[in-house]
Amino acid sequence: MKTALYNTISVKLNLKRNFIPIFIGRILPLLILTVISILYSRKISYDEYGKFQTFYMYSNVLNIITAFAMPSIILANRDFVFNFFLQRFKKKIAICYLLLFVFVAGVFYFSENNFSASIKISILFFIFLQFITTLADTFLIKRNQLNLYFTANFIYSILFFGIHLYFYFYTFNLQNLIFCLLVLLAAKSLLLFFVKQSETVEYHSTQFKIFFKNWLYLGINEVVGVIARWLDKIYVIFLLSAANFAIFVNGTIEIPLFAVLISTVETFMLTKISHNIADKKTSALIFKEGFKLLSYISFPVFFMLLIVHKEAFSVIFNNKYNESVPIFLISIFIIPLRINHYTVILQCYNNTNKILAGSVMDILLALLLMTLLYPAFGVAGVALSIIVSTYLQVFYYMWHSAKLINVNITDLVPFTFLAKLFFSIGILYLCFFFLKYYFSQIQFLVIVFVFTAILIGFALKKLPFYK
């Protein structure tokens, strides 16, 4: 009993201490990019905005592919284990990553027709520097240099915002924008020189095949996963012009809050579970705590967007992207799922083959549904396909995670808690829905937004992590 209580307190204290700097460091650039995207969409042409979003789509997708699970394999293993395999196979690993980058670069360069040769080359340099800075961030987190991580990312975010603002107030030029971002990324990559050396620990292993098989499965899964995440946009970009693609992008715009929250919780859970890998009860506890934190944020935001989506598009985009509203209304139904990272247990217990199978299933089902729904519903059918396939994928992961550590799904997912919270918050927002008839659009937006912020803040204060 005392051990269980100690583990529970330890999990909650570590979540509080580590969560905040990692979360802020990751959320700032994404929030800034969201603000910039809104500003750019209001000012520049549909065609220019479509190309701007296409650039960031490629940077997100290709960065994950070229990194090929390097950050995840670092976080999921103890330092001395990763260092042992890295030192033993340094040349082979370097050659594999170089060949992967050359392959990805070639496919991108010769298949992309929307950009000039100079912009395509600039994007490839951007992807390379992203890989370097991602490694730097990962090592800082792994070595617990969170103050340096936070400071560096805060400064980076301010400069990132300043560069985009310059091109907003002056003449927009995508080539020059990318060049300035390259300089910024090059400066941030110097963080690698400030990473602490890991402690020297004697370690020998003959489990080469198991380690690299896990790395391979994890890498393939992340590649498949990022394709699945951006599948709707990849699908649509080959069907529509840059201008029409801009309309679809704004309709499926992601709230960066959830991506960073989930990523931050994943980082915490990977680190804690990997250090207590033999204790499956603690693994289940760590996983379950993630739901309780993120649901207090996800559910209010979902209901807020459900009742203000029309007003939000009208005010934020100045009625320029009203065609995106039906697509956005469908897309927000993914938000109730954004309450955990569902593959952490499978990842830590070396069942990455199950993760890969779920991702492949997600892509194939989504493509099938897109093919069936696009002729009837247009791009709204594409958005709906992603929602349906994602819900089925989450069920698949939960089922196999529970089997893997010999627990019931109810030991991993607090269903009763989530259901009560969801419907309670839904009733609160239903009352707010009728206020829209008594206030202007801006007044209604402000009231609902402030209420949501207060509700989330109050709920988080009540959580045990914060006591």
Closest by CA to 67, choosing from 261, 222, 260, is: 222
CA distance 233 to 251: 11
Task: Give the separation between CA 39 and CA 165, rounded to whole angstroms.
Answer: 9
pLDDT of 113 = 82
* d(C-alpha 201, C-alpha 289), whole Å: 32
Give per-10-residue mean pLDDT for the chain (467 aa). 42 56 77 89 89 91 93 81 82 94 94 89 96 92 87 93 94 95 96 81 70 84 85 81 80 74 74 73 82 87 91 84 89 91 84 84 92 88 92 93 88 90 92 81 89 83 49
One-letter amino acid for residue 401 of the chain: S
Nearest to 235 by CA among 368, 45, 117: 368
What CA–CA distance (Å, rounded) separates 252 from 307?
17
The first and second tokens of residue 420, run together, are: 């009560």
Cβ partners under 8 Å of residue 89, min gap 6: 208, 212
pTM of the model: 0.73
Q: Which of 338, 370, 420 is nearest to 233 (CA)?
A: 370
Give the distance between the most distant pair of CA atoms in the chain.
Answer: 71
**Spatial contact of 53 and 33, defined as CB atoms under 8 Å apart:** no
Question: How many angstroms separate the CA atoms of 186 and 453, rounded?
Answer: 36
Q: Hunting for tokens 């300035």 — which residue is that? A: 180
Q: For residues 424 and 99, what is the distance between their CA atoms, to the nearest angstrom? A: 53
3-state helix, strand, coil in the chain (%, to 5): 85, 0, 15
Compute the CA torsion angle 381, 44, 256, 233 (nearest 10 deg): 30
Contact 218, 346 (CB under 8 A): no
Q: What are phi and psi of 338, to 5 degrees?
A: -80, 60
Going by C-alpha positions, the residue among 60, 363, 354, 65 that lies closest to residue 223 is: 65
Collect contacts of 53-56 with beta carbons under 8 A, ≥24 apart: 53/245, 53/246, 53/249, 54/114, 54/115, 54/237, 54/242, 54/245, 55/115, 55/119, 55/123, 55/174, 55/178
Q: Is the Cβ–Cβ distance between 377 and 306 less than 8 Å?
A: no
Cα–Cα distance measured from residue 267 to residue 70, given in angstroms and rounded to the nearest whole number: 13
- Measuring CA to CA, which residue among 229, 343, 348, 341 is closest to residue 291? 341
Instruction: Using CB atoms within 10 Å of the CB of residue 388, give its burial: 0 to 12 exposed, 13 to 18 middle, 19+ buried.
Output: middle
Residue 359's identity, in one-letter code, is S
Alpha carbons 371 and 374: distance in angstroms, whole number: 6
State how far the Cα of 316 lies from the Cα of 250, in Å rounded to an integer.
11
Amino acid occupying residue 390: T
Give which of 403, 420, 407, 286 is closest to 340, Cα–Cα. Answer: 286
For 140, the token pair is 């800082």
